[in-house]
Amino acid sequence: MSVWLVCFAVVGAAVYCVGVEQAQAQEKPLPKVEEITKHLDDLYRSTASHGQMEMQITTAHWSRTLNMEVWSQGEDLALVVIRSPAKEAGTATLKNTDGLWNYAPRADRLMRIPGGMLSDSWMGSHFTNDDLVRESSWEDDYDTQSAWAKEGGETFILLTSVPKPGAPVVYGRVEQWLSVEGWLPVKAVFFDTDGVLVRTMVYSNVVEFNGRKIPATMTLTPADKPEEKTQVTYQKMEFNAALDASIFTARGLRKAAQQ
């Protein structure tokens, strides 16, 4: 009797385990949406970061490469200073709790950028001011839903985000494809409020900086000008850097810009 009981228990457990495994393969439980959006918000951000990046802009009329130095701290502080080409060296964009500014090195003056221009082009690239200084947050400004998605035989987490009412966002919907492992963005597709494709961002070249793996290259293609693109590559990145918060002030900007 005890033998039967044991046999029964073993077979039952085995059947149970196989069933669970099958279910997991088909329908692995999705990670919590809040966790992913928080992860995305923090991916290129940390308590403080400092890095160098290269921006290659290709348009129908010209193409050029900018080298920039970037600093950020938390959600509210960011500074981008162009280092080359020489003509624009020192041109900078600053975001702090008071607002957004451009710095004109020739004039040695700051100019406030109206909030309405967050979605405007940054320095002639296809990136917007918002892309650069990340005013909007996936967690705070969007309602996001997640799902599994397959493309080219690979499985991704697909996030569909719709802006919350009143959020400072121009898109009507954003679809992001994330790797299942590490939740790294692979592709983001932006639609306007009419559901028309506006631009596509492709993430590639995963590099480890300071023990954190991020896609170091982002390529942005506007939907209405498929022959144009802007590619940004992080060349150096130091997360959790020791930064003095005074760099995110007018004086700090001038000092950084005139280096």
Partner 1 sequence: MFLRLAARNLVRNRWRSFLTAGGVAVATALLIWTVCFSETFSVAMVKGATAVDVGQAQIHSAAYVKKASLYHTLTLDEAQLGAIRRVEGVAGASPRAQVYGLVGNESRSQVARILGIDSVNERAITNLSKGVVKGRWLSDQAPQDGAREVLLGKDLARLLGVGPGDELVVFIQAADGSLGNDVLSVVGLVQSGNTAVDRATVLMHLSDVQMLAALEGVAHEITLSVTRFEEAEQVVGAVQAVLAKDNTSAAPEDRLVVRTWKEVLPQLAQMIETSEKSIWIIYFIIYLLAALGILNTQRMSAMERRREFGVLLALGVKPRSLGAMLVTEAVFLSMLGGVIGAALGWGVSAYFAEYGLNMAALSDSGSFKYMGVSFDDQFYFIVDMGGILEQLVWVAGVGMLCGLWPAWSSARLNAVQAIAGRT
SS3 244: coil
**Judged by CB, which is closer to partner 1: 23, or 104?**
104
Minimum separation from the CB atom of position 230 to partner 1 (A) = 11
**Cα separation of 169 and 190, whole Å?**
11
Closest Cα partner for 133 from 85, 52, 74?
74
Residue 241 touching partner 1 (CB under 8 A): no
Q: Site for partner 1 (CB under 8 A): which residue of 15, 18, 111, 147?
A: 111
Q: Site for partner 1 (CB under 8 A): which residue of 76, 88, 228, 238?
A: 88
Decide: 95 and 103 in contact? Cβ < 8 Å: no
Question: Interface residues for partner 1 in 120-139 (CB under 8 A)?
Answer: 121, 123-124
Minimum separation from the CB atom of position 117 to partner 1 (A) = 8
Q: Site for partner 1 (CB under 8 A): which residue of 87, 97, 242, 246?
A: 87
DSSP result, 15-52: HHHHHHHHHHHH-PPPPPHHHHHHHHHHHT--SSEEEE
Minimum separation from the CB atom of position 141 to partner 1 (A) = 24
Minimum separation from the CB atom of position 135 to partner 1 (A) = 16
User: What's the DSSP call for residue 11?
Assistant: H
**Pattern of binders to partner 1 over 32-71, x per CB under 8 A?**
-------------------------x-x-xxxx-------
**Phi, psi (degrees; rounded to nearest 5) at 247:** -65, -25
**Cα separation values, 13 from 9, 17, 212, Å:** 6, 6, 40
Applying CB under 8 A, which residues contact partner 1? Answer: 57, 59, 61-64, 85, 87-88, 91, 101-102, 104-114, 117, 121, 123-124, 250
